[in-house]
Structure 1
Amino acid sequence: MTGENPVLVVRDLHKHFAGGSRLRGGRHTVRAVDGVDLTIAPGEVLGLVGESGSGKSTVGRCIARLETPTSGTVELLGRDVSRISRREMRPVRRDVHVVFQDPYSSLNPRMTVGQIVGEPLRQHGEGERRDRTRRVGEMLERVGLREQMRTRYPHELSGGQRQRVALARALVLGPRLLVADEPVSALDVSVQASILNLFLDLQRDLGFSCLFITHDLSVVEFISDRIAVMYLGRIVETARRETLFADPQHPYTQALLSAAPVPDPADVRRRERIVLSGDLPSPSDPPSGCRFHTRCPVAIDRCATDNPPLTGVTAPDHPVACHLVTAESGRPRVAAP
């Protein structure tokens, strides 16, 4: 974190959805996000990682105001945007853009590449037509696409080329914050590498901050400055990338890292594999206390009744939500079964 004011501050964010129907046993509330705190500094990439269904994408959608939070605040550049109207949000959207998981479904099939990338400029009244054309060409060149691509349609492009177009569209206005929601998970591995390298080059050159949402630990280790681990609607651990991978504190983080693929077979044989029991509980009926206690191999009685706060017990910049993490004993050691 730098001494500058943060680009994004999220406090006690909640997003609940109505689920079920009266014909099928009645209505219920799905607690997709249930008390999330995040901070992103200028020029920082924060990786948000967790299992599918943990609420990562919903956090990103609330930050970009594609969803309205149930409660809590989302401060973008010092302004709370969690409750403002669509009309008030319109100028704010210059500073926050989204790159979605599927580049094909996120691009308008009726528009050419040039029209897609230039649409944000047109919507926000940026410059004359000739100026917009020039800026689109410069942005296409930045993301590695030839000028001839300008007249092509999305169906004429490969998956990697489509994601480059999506990046160009998201960055053409020079936003301060980019929300990248699984931007490489739909691509081949070789294409993933080129897109991630491009992303890092763009981030270094343009200086934008980013919330990078993924379930791939190798990707989040490569791309992120800090990492937040999410489980069933809540953040359970946040730390610098190097710290998290070298010394994970929360039992859930330890289990995630033990499941990550390792290229060296010798390392695979040496390390302990932590296998969690059961499935991710339903967000419509989350467990009491610590939400991870139903699957945690070292849970104690207190875990079932008291919700642990996210606090920096062992280090101020490494907050963990676990009753078993103390300043004296450090992290709980989870043994493989």
Structure 2
Amino acid sequence: MTSNGISRRAALATGLLMPFAARAALPDRPMRLVLGFPPGSGPDVVGRILAEGLRDSLPAGVVVDNKPGAAGAIAAQEVARAAPADGTALLFGEVGQLAMAPSTYARLPYDPAKDFAPVSQVAAADFALVVPITVAANSLADYVTWAKAQNQVFMGTFGAGTPGHFGAAILANEAGFPAEAVHFRSTGDAMTAILNGNVQGMFGTVALVAPHVRAGKLKALAVTGPARSPLLPEVPTTTELGRPALAFDAWFGLVAPAATPASTLASLDEAVGRALAAPALRTKMEEAGFRAAPRNREAFSAHMRAETARWAEVVRKTGFRAIE
């Protein structure tokens, strides 16, 4: 049998195993997965992996629709106002759009808490605190001691208002050393700066910094995830090191317009759960630098509320406000 024949049989089997009520609640038109970031970006990569995994579960298929701009606000606003709210337009959102933006923007064209109904959390990307090899620190404790002895420590970020930016603020505030954030427009510029020693620390995604650490070009002092990363297994977590306030990640998940029927939300949640249970999909995510981090509707809703409150407090302490 051809590979196409196998795929068709797998799709048929999936459909037959799915409860009739779940199949009936799914949209009968292609689902549009709206992404607020350009092709090739981190959210786009993991979103497309999910879309591929969903194609056998959703009867009409999945189309990825990139709507970049305004830190994801353009895509979020479009989905918040999508009509009809029948599950055919979903936002593949991330922590910045769904938990940080309400505190970092004085005027936001959508309200994550009111305009969206959570469907499922999908994945997360952990960060590593990295420093140039010229910095005299081989552990997080060493780094804090070194930083306190400096007049100023420049911390690189991948942009103002991002998890890495606020992670640096948490570390400096908690450890009590003088730090100034240096925001770069691209990850490439940020990596060049820390590799050249122009900044003295940075929280970068593990997948991005790990090759430089393994090559001996950077030192990784801690990772922010719930467990050690398989990409940097020798590097302890911030929680292991007694700094649980620095346990954070960039998470990604699906949300629908608030008026979407509960039965459709439940069916979509089930479809995502089945996709994320596939070992092949999880492997693809890991190879791309993400970890599968499934949360069902209820758990994802609670996590969004908790994260919104957490980052609001961090933003308040920094006094940060995005330029609109």
TM-score w.r.t. structure 2 length?
A: 0.29
* Structure of greater relative contact order (alpha carbons < 8 Å, 6+ residues apart): 2
TM-score (norm: length of structure 1):
0.28
